[in-house]
Chains A and B, each alone.
Chain A
Amino acid sequence: MAIENGFRLALQEAGGKFAGRDIEFIKVDDESDPPKAVDNINKLVTRDKVDMVLGTVHSGVAAGMVRVTRESGTLHIIPNAGFAPGAGALCAPNIFRTSFSNWQSGYAMGEVMAKRPKVNKVVTLAWRYAAGEESVKGFKDAFLKAQGKSIVKELWIPFPNIEFQALLTEIASIKPDAVYSFFAGAGAAKYIKDYAATGLMKTTPLMGSGFLTDGLLEALGGVGEGIETALHYGDGIETPKNKAFRLAYAKAFKLQPDGYAVAGYDSGNLFRAGLEAVKGDISKKKEMIKAMEAAKLDSPRGPLRLNRAHNPIHDHYLRRVTGNENKVVGVAVKGLDDDPMATAACKMPG
């Protein structure tokens, strides 16, 4: 929803047309159901013969889509799903990502924690699935680079299990300096509530990837106050571009934009950059891809360009939960690229 709104806002700013061409939307509900992904994308690619696919949020579904678009060569912009292979082992010239990789926000948080003298022993706790593992890897890659830092214990919980009490008790017995976690959505809300209820919040700071708190602050009702997370977007980025974006978005949709909306907006502008380079002639796909690869987007999140595997290189912010906002308190890492291992796995043909 927010992704589509963001995309439409980019279109609206371009005067309703990209490079003089009208854009027609065909919407499919992916139901966040990976088994249905291949069928759905096949319909779009072969029946509707779309020029560009924008999608999706869920990594499992996006992976299914990528399998098809790699074969068909249809332009594909991933506006959320942060799975490593998306801009790694499964990369292709026609596949772009405007959001992030799961590794990136973990790395950014690790970088911040590595600089804190009081944080030496850390416990990680995450869902044992791809996104959780990638995020924890990112954290470790950055955190363990610094002298005298150690991960005392890596705790995992099966996805999507939300019975955290046993592991929180374990954390309390280890007494680390801080805890790094990757959870998202309703599971994250329960996790934070449980974490606070055990009294750990007072003794052991909780930090994580931005997904730990994004979109959940109202449901948390103040329980998450003070949690620090890293992400490519947050509340209160004081740039003229972001202010203008927020104003325009709020005016167009009567809603406040979030990270999804930003990725949708950037997807629109990336597509626009490609189309304008070929003056709307979509058949010149090679030139179009080249222009998209070279595009430097003025995103509300800050400057954005793409790496060799088409993953965004962008600033990551350190955010602190303050009231109902994920308040940006500083830049965690400037111009952060993706995991070198993921990029190395990308064998881009041609």
Chain B
Amino acid sequence: MDFHFFLIQLMNGVQYGLLLFLLSAGLTLVFGIMGIINIAHGSFYMIGAYLAWSLTGKLGSFWLALPAGIVLTVALGMLLEWLVIKRLYHRDLLYQVLATYGLILVCEELRSVLWGDDVRGFNIPEALNQSIQLSETLSYPVYRLWISGVCLAVAVLLYWVIQHTRLGMKIRAGASNREMVQSLGIDIQIVYRIVFAAGVTLAALAGMIAAPVSSVFPGMGNHVLIICFVVVVIGGLGSVKGALVASVMIGLVDTFGKVLEFSVGGVRLLPELSSMTVYVLMAVILLWRPEGLFGKKL
């Protein structure tokens, strides 16, 4: 691989990593602040993608579908928190897993009833449907760069909200001591509702912006769920910064695992074992830091 293509692969890796961050930020947020393991997280990704597809069809433009979809998923997140998640705060982990697993089934069934079981797709919006010529045979789609831009913007926004706003202060306080915050007269219930809705919306937003390139299909959420958990575990449970670092690491490892050739004693390990690279990375990091890169000490 010459240097030129090495740079392009680097870009591919970072770009994939940033999308992973958007996907998993909500998961780590909900766990870190509310202490809820939400295995239905992938389903919200799927719902986002289907919303983008169906709203683009109905409203005629992706740019209208995007805000409309965000409003709908915020509402969905609040509704689910009120309906289901609220009942899980004082329960054991097993109840949380069971209830959110139930949500996966409900989401899949709803998707089947509302939108059917076919593979769907729509094209990249006109304004971004261009590419930059990088080499004689390869060009880079502008849409991918735009995705990276959105992911970075969300990262900055999250950082700002959590570190520099009043709401962020309440969120951080609630994460470290729920009872104390309540006794100071802050309605932690509202804070949690907002956080959960934000988690749902982040996953759905990832689905919406990925939809034009990845197409929309049943079970697409379960596809991404495992990798989300890998991100969260590597980054440290509850750490948004950790999720960002872990995502980019995974993106790079996954990308180079597929294209580099590496053998030990005549046995080719890469790319033959590329499906394992991400998990090897996770194992190594957990051996070194069992709490993850930026997790609280266990």
* A residues in contact (CB < 8 Å) with B: 128, 155-158, 160-163, 165-170, 172-173, 175, 185-186, 189-190, 193-194, 197-200, 203-204, 215-216, 218-223
B144 engages A216 (CB within 8 Å): no
Of A167, A190, A198, A215, which is within 8 A of B140 by CB? A198
Of the candidates B119, B131, B135, B271, which one forms a contact with A156 in the assembled complex, judged by CB atoms under 8 Å apart?
B271
**Complex contacts, B1 vs chain A, CB 8 Å:** 173
Q: Which 7 A-B pairs have the closest CB atoms?
A: A158-B275, A172-B138, A219-B121, A186-B217, A199-B139, A197-B141, A189-B215
Can you report 16 residue pairs joining A to B where beta carbons are below 8 Å apart?
Answer: A158-B274, A158-B275, A163-B16, A163-B258, A166-B12, A169-B9, A169-B138, A170-B5, A173-B1, A173-B2, A186-B215, A190-B214, A194-B213, A215-B118, A219-B215, A219-B216
The residue of chain B having its C-beta at the shortest distance from the C-beta of A190 within the complex is B214
Whether the Cβ atoms of B144 and A197 lie closer than 8 Å is yes
User: Would you call B259 and A193 a contact (CB within 8 A)?
Assistant: no
- The answer to whether B137 and A200 touch across the interface, beta carbons within 8 angstroms, is yes
Of B12, B16, B123, B271, which is within 8 A of A221 by CB? B123
Evaluate contact between B275 and A175: CB separation under 8 angstroms. no
In B257-283, the 8 Å CB interface with A consists of 258-259, 271-272, 274-275
A199–B254 CA distance with the chains assembled, in angstroms: 23
Known: A185-B217, A198-B139, A198-B140. A219 touches B119 (CB 8 A): yes
Find chain A residues with CB under 8 A from B82 CB: none
Contacts A166-B9, A194-B213 known; A203 to B137 CB distance under 8 Å? Answer: yes
Convert B165-180 into 0s and 1s, putting 1 for each residue whose CB lies closer than 8 angstroms to a CB of A.
Answer: 0000000000000000
In the complex the two chains form, is B123's CB within 8 Å of A163's CB? Answer: no
Bound CA–CA A318/B119 (angstroms): 24
Instruction: Let me know if B213 and A197 touch, CB within 8 A.
Output: yes
Chain B residue with Cβ nearest A189: B215
Q: Which residues of B contact A (CB under 8 A)?
A: 1-2, 5, 8-9, 12-13, 15-16, 118-124, 131, 133, 135-141, 143-144, 213-217, 220, 223, 254-256, 258-259, 271-272, 274-275
- A204: which B residues are within 8 A, CB to CB? 137
Supposing A198-B138, A215-B119, A220-B121 touch, asked if A169 and B214 sit within 8 A by C-beta, the answer is no
- Rounded to whole angstroms, the CA-CA distance of A193 and B122 in the bound complex is 10
Given contacts A169-B9, A172-B135, 7 further A-B contacts (CB under 8 A): A166-B255, A169-B5, A189-B119, A193-B215, A198-B131, A198-B138, A219-B215
Given contacts A198-B141, A221-B123, contact A190 B213 (CB under 8 A): yes
Distance between B203 CB and nearest chain A CB, rounded to angstroms: 18
The CA-CA distance from A166 to B139 in the complex, in Å, is: 13
Docked Cα-Cα span, A218 to B57, in Å, equals 13
Task: Given A219-B215, A221-B121, decide whether A172 and B12 contact each other with a Cβ distance below 8 A.
Answer: no
What's the nearest-Cβ distance from chain B to residue A51, in Å? Answer: 30
What chain A residues lie within 8 Å of B213 (beta carbons)? 190, 193-194, 197
Given A169-B8, A219-B121, A221-B121, A157 contacting B215 (CB threshold 8 A):
no
Closest Cβ of chain B: how far from A250's Cβ, in Å? 18
CB <8 Å contact, A165 and B135? no
Known contacts: A165-B16, A173-B5, A190-B214. The answer to whether A219 contacts B274 by CB under 8 A is: no
Contacts of A157 in B (CB 8 A): 258, 274
Alpha-carbon distance between A168 and B137 when the two chains are bound, in angstroms: 10
Taking A166-B9, A166-B13, A204-B137 as contacts, is the C-beta distance between A221 and B122 under 8 angstroms? yes
B137 touches A172 (CB 8 A): yes
**Cα(A163)–Cα(B258), bound, Å:** 10
Name A32's closest neighbour in chain B (CB-CB).
Answer: B219
- List the A side residues contacting B119 at CB < 8 Å: 185-186, 189, 215-216, 219
Task: Report if A189-B258 is in contact (Cβ < 8 Å); known contacts: A158-B274, A172-B138, A197-B144.
Answer: no
Of chain A, the residue at the smallest CB distance from B123 is A221
Partner of A169, one of B12, B141, B274: B12
Complex formed: what's the CA distance from A198 to B144 in Å? 10
B223 near A223 with CB under 8 A, answer no
Q: Name the B residues within 8 Å of A190 (CB-CB).
A: 213-215
Q: Are A166 and B258 in contact (CB under 8 A)?
A: yes
Q: Which residue of A lies closest to B8 (CB)?
A: A169
Please report the C-alpha to C-alpha distance between residue A180 and residue B133 in the assembled complex, in whole angstroms.
Answer: 24
Chain B residues with CB below 8 A from A169, complex form:
5, 8-9, 12, 138, 259
Least Cβ–Cβ distance between B210 and chain A, in angstroms = 9
- Of all chain B residues, the one with the shortest Cβ separation from A160 is B223
Could you tell me if B258 and A197 are in contact, using CB atoms closer than 8 angstroms? Answer: no
Distance from A79 Cβ to chain B, minimum over Cβ atoms (Å):
19
The answer to whether A175 touches B121, judged by C-beta atoms less than 8 angstroms apart, is no
- Chain A residues with CB below 8 A from B131, complex form: 197-199
Minimum CB–CB distance from B259 to chain A (whole Å) comes to 5
Cα–Cα, bound, A210→B202 (Å): 37
Minimal beta-carbon separation of B167 from chain A (angstroms): 35
